[in-house]
Chain A
Amino acid sequence: MFEKALTGSKRYWAWIFFLLAVIALGVMAYLRQFNEGLGLTGMSRDVSWGLYIAQFTFLVGVAASAVMLVTPYYLHDFKRFGKLVILGEFLAIAAVIMCILFIFVDVGQPMRILNVLLYPQLHSVMFYDMCVLAGYLVINLVVGWTTLGAEKKGTPPPKWVKPIIYLSIPWAFSIHTVTAFLYAGLPGRFFWMTAIMAARFLASAFAAGPALLILLALLVRKLSKFDPDPGIGAIQSLVKIIRYAMIANVFFYICEVFTAFYSNSPDEMAPFKYVFFGLDGHTSLVPFMWTAAVLAIVGIALLIFPTRENKVLLPIALLSIFLANWIDKGIVLIIAGFVPNSFERVTEYFPSGNEISIVVGIYAIGALIITVLYKIAISVREQNQI
């Protein structure tokens, strides 16, 4: 099947080479970081995790969100998602690979990363996170590839993948739950140590992931002859899921804010004050947080009202929801967890140019994987349509 990725239009190749160029810049930036150390990033003794770990956290959610298609389609026989589901599985593959890359570029001694498996520590959440992520990657590769292969031959998928598909459902929940437990179990990090962290993670993931998926599906529809939703309402069904997930996400957030401020607990309030109003004159995250808040409201409103059927407004709503979640999880959540520090001082974090090049490079790798996998899926589908 892979040969399908090697033939394409001029536009296809231009896009591939553009991505390769961005990736090359990222690789160069990484080599610089590899030689000179993480001192080249904006991270510090006080804010010891930054954009890398934040992207990792966000993308685990995107990966997990494939379950919002897999569950209805395979478990409840919801046929409308039939054409979308493969796009979800392939998006998950790209997202998990990006997650692994973000971990890789974040560690100070990348050559030793296998120590996590050589000396497994059963008390460390990170060990479990690595295991579930690797497992999820394998599951999605196997499921995506075999179902598409079967489709190409025009046969139903082999029986043995069924149990693996069912396994992928709880597995998707587990990857994001375990990722939330990385943070939710740390004493003294009040922004993170909250019982609904895992629930919040899942809610935001099930909003942001499918939002991205629909945007990609709309692109696919525009750029190819394959229509993932030929008037069967698949997209609108998914929009409902996104809407409720996003409402749940905002609701959980309000719960957090209530607990912090009604209890008047200084430790709980401080990070929220920092992200919404600034602390001790440090306000770098304030514009981001308010942007996210506004985008979340706008996105929800557009999806509640019939505007969700509008060809122009739907992408805007989905983009708003995606960006709101990306800002919340891919920027604010991780950084604000370190503010104020254990001495109640504020150290701010500003990513360096080199760091941003690496982040963009990894996203370009993700885009490349999605492009290639979608190209294969689309070619198979186009062929079958004829």
Chain B
Amino acid sequence: MSVNRRQFLKRAGALTALGLGGSFVLTGIRGKIADAASQTPSYQKQKQGLVAKHWAMVVDMSKFKTEEDIERVIQSCDTIHNIPDFGNKKDEIKWIWKDDFEHTFTESKNEYLTENFKELPFMIMCNHCENPPCVKACPTGATFKRADDGIVMMDYHRCIGCRFCMGACPFGARSFNYRDPKPHIKTINPDFPTRTIGVVEKCTFCVERLEKGLKPACVEASKGGLIFGDLDDTNSEVRKIISSKFTIRRKSELGTQPSVYYLVGGEESV
């Protein structure tokens, strides 16, 4: 993971040449370059599990080498969270999925990108925005941001299914239970609630696992492709990457402050 200054600048040049530079969050060029090898995990195991002030995720797509790597990560979330498969796009429910560069970072594409580049896959999930428009819109408080760690949560028992939050989320991160999900879940995980018809759901950064001291399922399954940690902790791996490498966020111009960062030009990519 270590990157020296020369490599860093070279990569910056390469990316700018690809027409992406303008949208990158340029941080830490002058600051010290993080050496990820000397990480100490920021979050400590406590009685109530993993805690942080601001949970964040870094997506390093260079670690996703094959279609199988991507599938495994999606599956890890789908199976433990009882995500139904209706077999159609209209009623689809998804918490984490992949899309290509061109559609994920719509503002950064240009017509000269090669097809390969346009089709680079990216993992997508709820961004757990710092200023979540979904929370502002929700008339019942069924979707809310946890004050202590910034996770944007759902209360399936309070949600009235008005879908105002879906209109408000500019990232398409939310799904609605248009039909009864239960018959469409392959095998039900009894440790996690199934949802009812008529409520909205989305990625919750695996709060139920954090409570038990475990990292999110997708992070565990990603073998280093998804890095999860406390953005408020200057020593955390996510913080070091975000402050010293090129990361971009989806639609950062909208001011929602997503907590999911994409490391573009991570190891051996591009």
The answer to whether A342 touches B140 (Cβ under 8 A) is no
Complex interface: chain B residues within 8 A of A187 (CB): 133, 168, 170, 254-256
By the criterion of a CB under 8 Å from any partner CB, how many residues of chain A are at the interface? Answer: 44
Question: When chains A and B are docked, how far (Å) is the Cα of A269 from the Cα of B176?
Answer: 28
The answer to whether B137 touches A126 (Cβ under 8 A) is yes
A343 contact from B99, B142, B167, Cβ within 8 A: B99
Smallest CB-CB separation from B162: which chain A residue? A107
The answer to whether B197 touches A108 (Cβ under 8 A) is yes
- Taking the closest CB of chain B, its distance from the CB of A107, in whole angstroms, is 5
Q: Is A76 in contact with chain B by the CB < 8 A criterion?
A: no
The answer to whether A115 touches B106 (Cβ under 8 A) is no
Complex interface: chain B residues within 8 A of A125 (CB): 137
**B135, B172, B256 interface centre (most CB from chain A within 10 Å):** B172
Q: Is A39 in contact with chain B by the CB < 8 A criterion?
A: yes
Which residues of B (143-160) have their CB < 8 Å from a CB of A? 158-160
A46 contact from B106, B172, B200, B251, Cβ within 8 A: B172
Question: When chains A and B are docked, how far (Å) is the Cα of A164 from the Cα of B63?
Answer: 66
Question: When chains A and B are docked, how far (Å) is the Cα of A119 from the Cα of B160?
Answer: 12
One digit per residue, 1 when the CB lies within 8 angstroms of any chain B CB and 0 when it does not, for chain A 3-34 equals: 00000000000000000000000000000000
By the criterion of a CB under 8 Å from any partner CB, how many residues of chain B are at the interface? Answer: 47
Complex interface: chain B residues within 8 A of A337 (CB): 167
Smallest CB-CB separation from A189: which chain B residue? B167
Known contacts A121-B140, A121-B141, A344-B106: does B175 contact A45 (CB below 8 Å)?
A: yes
The answer to whether A115 touches B140 (Cβ under 8 A) is yes
Q: Is B199 in contact with chain A by the CB < 8 A criterion?
A: yes
Question: When chains A and B are docked, how far (Å) is the Cα of A38 from the Cα of B200?
Answer: 12
Q: Is A116 in contact with chain B by the CB < 8 A criterion?
A: yes
The answer to whether B136 touches A124 (Cβ under 8 A) is yes
Q: Is B203 in contact with chain A by the CB < 8 A criterion?
A: no
The answer to whether B133 touches A343 (Cβ under 8 A) is no
The answer to whether B198 touches A121 (Cβ under 8 A) is no
Complex interface: chain B residues within 8 A of A46 (CB): 172
The answer to whether A124 touches B164 (Cβ under 8 A) is yes
Q: Is B91 in contact with chain A by the CB < 8 A criterion?
A: yes
One digit per residue, 1 when the CB lies within 8 angstroms of any chain B CB and 0 when it does not, for chain A 112-149 equals: 11011011010111110010000000000000000000
The answer to whether B133 touches A342 (Cβ under 8 A) is no
Q: Is B193 in contact with chain A by the CB < 8 A criterion?
A: no
Complex interface: chain B residues within 8 A of A113 (CB): 160
Which residues of B (218-260) have their CB < 8 Å from a CB of A? 251, 254-256
The answer to whether B139 touches A108 (Cβ under 8 A) is no
The answer to whether B137 touches A124 (Cβ under 8 A) is yes
Q: Is B161 in contact with chain A by the CB < 8 A criterion?
A: yes
Known contacts A108-B197, A123-B136, A186-B168: does B179 contact A37 (CB below 8 Å)?
A: yes
Smallest CB-CB separation from B251: which chain A residue? A188
Complex interface: chain A residues within 8 A of B256 (CB): 187
Complex interface: chain B residues within 8 A of A339 (CB): none
The answer to whether B170 touches A342 (Cβ under 8 A) is yes
One digit per residue, 1 when the CB lies within 8 angstroms of any chain A CB and 0 when it does not, for chain B 104-121 equals: 101000000000000000
The answer to whether A108 touches B198 (Cβ under 8 A) is yes
Question: When chains A and B are docked, how far (Å) is the Cα of A258 from the Cα of B180?
Answer: 45
One digit per residue, 1 when the CB lies within 8 angstroms of any chain A CB and 0 when it does not, for chain B 169-196 equals: 1111001111110000000000000001
CB within 8 Å of B: which residues of A? 36-39, 41, 43-46, 48-49, 103, 106-110, 112-113, 115-116, 118-119, 121, 123-127, 130, 182-183, 186-189, 337-338, 341-345, 347
Q: Can you list 29 A-B contacts (CB < 8 A)? A: A36-B180, A37-B177, A39-B179, A44-B89, A45-B90, A48-B163, A48-B167, A48-B176, A103-B162, A107-B162, A107-B198, A108-B160, A108-B162, A108-B177, A109-B196, A109-B199, A112-B159, A116-B160, A119-B158, A121-B139, A126-B139, A127-B139, A186-B167, A188-B133, A188-B254, A189-B170, A338-B167, A344-B106, A347-B89
Given pairs A116-B139, A186-B137, 5 additional interface contacts (CB within 8 A): A108-B160, A108-B200, A115-B139, A126-B139, A342-B170
Q: Ordered nearest first, which 8 A-B pairs have the shortest CB separation?
A: A108-B161, A188-B170, A108-B198, A39-B178, A126-B139, A39-B179, A343-B103, A44-B90
